[in-house]
A and B are shown apart, each in its own frame.
Chain A
Amino acid sequence: MNLHSNRAAALAALALSLSLLTACGSDDSGSDSGSESGGGGGDVAMTMLPKNLGNPYFDTSTTGAETAADEVGATIEQVGPETGDDPAGQVPFINTVAQQGADGLIVSANDPQAICDAIGEARDAGVKVVTFDSDTNPDCRDLFINQATAEGIAAKQLELISEQIGGSGEIAILSAAANATNQNAWIEMMEAELESNPDYADIELVDTVYGDDQDQKSFDQTEALLQNHPDLKGIISPTTVGIAAAARYLSESESKGKVMLTGLGTPNQMRPFVEDGTVEAFALWNPGDLGYLAVHATQALVDGDITGEEGDTFEAGELGEFEVGADGVVLLGEPFTFNADNIDDFDF
């Protein structure tokens, strides 16, 4: 290594540092104007931290959150890891919120425990922390906005299938794996409800099959259900993979429009089948409402209207009044029904 190249390296480093400073400078001016418009009236500053960016589901929540932020006069900014569900990927963003001393953090946790220390530091810095979609351990955060309860999901699916088959006839369930915890809990509740609720006295659950959340297997199981139960009038598939596969089978079969299908699905997967009449209506929660409610809850915490204690109530704009339940959980409500009238309003 001779002197010339050393000096050249130093010059290059200097040039680099200058270009870097310029780059920072332009970013800086952009952010300044942003915080002026945001901070001018002493507005509340919130940060939205989804599991990852570029995910249509979370983009929908952020859109809902932005609507609510406009209503309450808060500023909201979405940040997050680009990909994956690595909990460590969320921590630097939570730290940044603590450094900035933002008013509120709305986060969908990639791990119930791993981000707790970082959240604790943010709360020490005065940040109100609200989880949505995926909770942390309850003592880590101020509130959790829960999209749906198991009871709500079970009840909603029975209500939909009962409507669609006219209140009587044979139904079957196409589930995920035989040992899937969530699905089994819902199926158990649906079975109990079918037994006990007089409204469903004429509905008979004849079979439960498992598609293992694989598209092809779910497709084959749907075919088998229709062959084994010629009088079948409806199928409930409480899993997004299952309902899409069953819809694909039905849409190409002669049972289309005769055997009804409902369950939990996402609008983008189900759109063609709602449009071609295979599926009348299905359920899930509305991630937009979830983000919307999270912002109103955060605002109520920041304003001091609520502390997150059980029994606290707050107003959430067009969604109405909400009450904080046990463990600081706020329930969005019963699952949202998607049908031909509203499916085009959603993109996730």
Chain B
Amino acid sequence: MTTPRTYSEFSRPLWMRLLLTRETAVIALTAAVVVYSLATVPNFDGPLTLKFLLQDIAPILLIALPMTLIIITGEIDLSVASIVGLSSVMLGVLHDNGLSVPVAALIALLVGAACGALNGFLVAYVGLPSLAVTIGTLALFRGIAVGLLGTKAVTEFTESWTDLATATLGSTNIPVVMVPFVVLALGFSLLLHFSTFGRGIYDIGLNDEAAHFTGVDVARTKWILFVLSGVVSAFAGIYYTLRFGSARGDNATGMELQVIAAVLLGGVSIFGGRGRLHGVIAGVVLIGVIASALRLERVTVNVTNIIIGLLLIASVISTPLLSWVATRLPRKAPPSEEPTPPKQATPAGV
């Protein structure tokens, strides 16, 4: 929908083009790993697998939604895990001081929005590089979180709320947290793939100057995305805190890398301008399934990390490497005019 339409793209029927997308490849790989694990990994077919898997990946799924949009604009938000930690601490401290869980959670969401607004202001309106800004706020937000609680943890939460965070829908094994996730995923899909705002996001990623001249409010778009990222990260922090019943300053340390890894694995270009949400969701699920299956196989975390790391590198390398190979191969039906891919050579941002 947003990739440049070239002669060669139209040379195959629509269904074939859909089957050959990068997102389809990730989904197929995920399905293959699931089927293989069901068949061979002991206990992977048990009733608890789906529940634990979805509970584990829920925060990453949530944060990956706004992260995808931010990376498509060519920016990045490295402070998300620190916002998770800060909202966790806010929820804990406020609840400890007598506020009910919903009120404390609402304030934590507002704090998340404020964090995102700060990131967005510095990136969009001051014009600083998001990599530098969010490395700074990664340290800043984490520092505040740890500073507020020290090495202590708040573990006394109203039981009905912690129960809700670990509950499943009816008699299924689907955690309740999937409901807000599905709602948000639909919302972000509509925003990215079916709105002018979303068109603008791709345009910014391809070339933000050109986007500006076609009437996209580049700064406002970026600012809104960082605020969304802050709010969703804070929501993930609230879920994380209630799921484990523990508010700590060091909660979710390093989660930003898991999120970004999944987004890139899902086919989003780190240079911006390319990527789709269903690919990203498949990317998160793929990493979660691999980790879950390998844990059941009693493979150590180091090995799991090595496998996921190699998978990510391979997926990132595969695109430029294979398109380079493709240009060397003789084409079956060369177009009369060689179309120049408009994006490839001009990485925006980062």
Contacts and interface: CB of A to CB of B under 8 A. Distances in A.
Interface string B288-302: 001111111111111
A98 B166 CA distance: 15
A88 B52 CA distance: 13
B43 A99 contact: yes
A28 to B, nearest CB: 5
A12 B314 contact: yes
Contacts, number: 178
Interface footprint category on B: 35 or more
B323 A99 contact: no
Contact of B322 (A8, A23, A98): A8
A192 interface: no
A158 B251 CA distance: 41
A96 interface: yes
A1 B40 contact: no
A165 B56 CA distance: 57
Interface in B278-312: 290-302, 307, 311
Given A13-B26, A99-B52, A27 B294 contact: yes
A48 to B, nearest CB: 12
Contact of B8 (A3, A14, A21, A87): A3
Contacts of B14: none
Given A4-B8, A13-B29, A111 B21 contact: no
A79 interface: yes
B323 A4 contact: yes
A86 B81 CA distance: 14
Given A2-B341, A10-B24, 6 more contacts: A2-B6, A5-B323, A12-B314, A20-B33, A99-B43, A117-B245
16 contacts: A1-B3, A2-B6, A6-B21, A8-B325, A9-B319, A12-B322, A16-B318, A27-B297, A79-B295, A82-B301, A87-B246, A88-B252, A96-B295, A101-B46, A111-B244, A117-B244
A14 B31 CA distance: 12
A24 B11 contact: no
Contact of A3 (B11, B43, B46): B11
A113 B155 contact: yes
Contacts of B22: 6, 9-10, 13
Nearest to A95: B52
Interface string B1-40: 0011010110110000101111011101100110011001
Interface in B174-229: none
Contacts of B325: 8
Contacts of B314: 12, 16
A91 interface: yes
Given A9-B22, A9-B319, A27-B294, A111 B153 contact: yes
B40 A24 contact: yes
Contacts of A95: 48, 52, 56
Kindly list the 5 A-B residue pairs having the minimum CB-CB distance in the complex, ordered from nearest.
A8-B322, A4-B326, A5-B323, A114-B246, A113-B155
Contacts of B52: 92, 95-96, 98-99
B301 A81 contact: yes
Nearest to A98: B48
A36 to B, nearest CB: 12
Contact of A113 (B28, B246, B252): B246
A121 interface: yes
B345 interface: no
A112 interface: yes
Contacts of A77: 298
Contact of A8 (B292, B299, B323, B331): B323
Contact of A12 (B3, B4, B9, B318): B318
B311 A20 contact: yes
B25 A86 contact: no
B142 interface: no
Contact of A2 (B9, B36, B244, B297): B9
B307 A23 contact: yes
Nearest to A23: B307
B8 A114 contact: no
Contacts of B3: 1
Interface of B is mostly: helix
Contacts of B245: 113-114, 116-117
A172 to B, nearest CB: 30
Interface string A114-143: 111100010001000000000000000000
Contacts of A34: 298
A7 B20 contact: yes
Contacts of A13: 22, 25-26, 28-29, 315, 318
B121 interface: no
A343 interface: no
B35 to A, nearest CB: 10
A7 B9 CA distance: 11
Most buried by B among A20, A35, A125: A20
B173 to A, nearest CB: 11
A100 interface: yes
A53 interface: yes
A62 to B, nearest CB: 14
Most buried by A among B41, B155, B292, B298: B298
A17 B34 CA distance: 11
A51 to B, nearest CB: 14
Nearest to B20: A6
A178 interface: no
A31 interface: yes
B240 interface: yes
B244 A100 contact: no
B264 to A, nearest CB: 13
B24 A111 contact: no
A320 to B, nearest CB: 33
Contact of A53 (B43, B248, B300): B300
A5 B319 contact: yes
